[in-house]
Amino acid sequence: MLKEERQQLILKILDEEQKVIVSDLKMRLSVSEDTIRRDLKELDGLGLVKRVHSGALKIGPAVSDFEQRQSIDPTTKEILAHHALPFLKENSIIIIDGSTTNLKLVESLPTDFKATIITNSPIIAFELSKFEFIETIMLGGKLEKRSIVNLGIETIETLNTIRADLYVAGVHNIDSDHGITVHTQLEAQVKYKMGSVSNEILAMATKDKIETVSNFVCTEINDITHLITEKLPVYITDKYRDKNIQVIN
């Protein structure tokens, strides 16, 4: 089998199974582990897979700015937001960070909803200003223009003074072993802090984000309490349920 054919087969297996393991590919493709590792290194260099110690994972959605993401599959995001609404309790303290799905959630709140909501997203804060009975706390920091969220030491220092009931995490990548990950260290640090000061963590993720990874960990998989997602194969959702995560799909 030519290298190009083998690598295309690896990508096909990865697309179908979400992950590939070096030792498994060695047997299935009848080549050495060194050959598989070289293939995965090349595919990683091309941005087609994300290498991990034992194999490789799927690459999630391309990094894009907030405005571009708003136009991607809004109906699915509305459905996820509807499923998440029951987890937002009145008179509680909720942290909601910036994401287009989280914006759909805020837009879906009942007009008479009562809570304190903390966010580092100017767009979400503006939407919350329309609710008479929601007290909104806007976290400061340096505006990250791509995601339109405030980040930095000021954001983290304010979070040190907060104990929230629920953190609604914006998700770019989520994996049943590696948790929630993002592309930048600073965003990961702020998200990690949001989770650490919250009693529960709810993640909403479209299926293209499931079983994908990036470079910086925001939330360890065992810290996530609820996952709202689309219909997925049972063998995938079972991986999350095995980590004591409530999966709604």
39, 58, 77 — which closes off a domain?
58
Q: Does one domain contain both 43 and 74?
A: no
Do 202 and 167 touch, CB atoms closer than 8 A? yes
Q: Does one domain contain both 190 and 144?
A: yes
Q: Name the nearest CA neighbour of 75 among 100, 96, 98.
A: 100
Whole-number pLDDT of residue 18: 75
Q: Does one domain contain both 145 and 164?
A: yes
pLDDT in tens, the chain (249 residues): 778 888 888 988 888 777 889 999 988 998 999 999 999 999 888 878 888 888 888 777 666 676 667 767 789 999 999 999 999 999 999 999 999 999 999 999 999 999 999 999 999 999 999 999 999 999 999 999 988 999 999 999 999 999 999 999 989 999 999 999 998 999 999 999 999 999 999 999 999 899 988 889 999 999 999 999 999 989 899 999 999 999 998
Whole-number pLDDT of residue 248: 96
Do 149 and 120 touch, CB atoms closer than 8 A? yes
- CA 31 remoteness from chain centre: 35
What CATH number should be reported for the domain holding residue 201? Answer: 3.40.50.1360
16, 32, 58 — which closes off a domain?
58
Whole-number pLDDT of residue 167: 98
- Match 């980040």 to its residue by tokens: 151
Whole-number pLDDT of residue 48: 83
CA distance 181 to 186: 12
Do 94 and 117 touch, CB atoms closer than 8 A? yes
Q: Does one domain contain both 162 and 79?
A: yes
Q: Does one domain contain both 113 and 12?
A: no
Range of the domain at 52: 3-58
Written as six digits, the tokens of 177 are 């072993």
Q: Does one domain contain both 148 and 196?
A: yes
Tally of structural domains, the chain: 2
Whole-number pLDDT of residue 5: 87
Whole-number pLDDT of residue 64: 60
The reported pTM is 0.83
Do 212 and 174 touch, CB atoms closer than 8 A? yes
Whole-number pLDDT of residue 117: 98
Q: Does one domain contain both 125 and 22?
A: no
Whole-number pLDDT of residue 78: 95
Q: Does one domain contain both 50 and 103?
A: no
Q: Name the nearest CA neighbour of 228 among 169, 178, 179.
A: 169
Whole-number pLDDT of residue 194: 98
Beta carbons within 8 Å of 186's beta carbon, 6+ residues apart: 144, 151, 152
Q: Does one domain contain both 212 and 243?
A: yes
Q: Does one domain contain both 28 and 111?
A: no
Whole-number pLDDT of residue 4: 86
Whole-number pLDDT of residue 62: 65
What CATH number should be reported for the domain holding residue 17? Answer: 1.10.10.10
Do 142 and 122 touch, CB atoms closer than 8 A? no
Q: Does one domain contain both 30 and 125?
A: no
Q: Does one domain contain both 117 and 28?
A: no
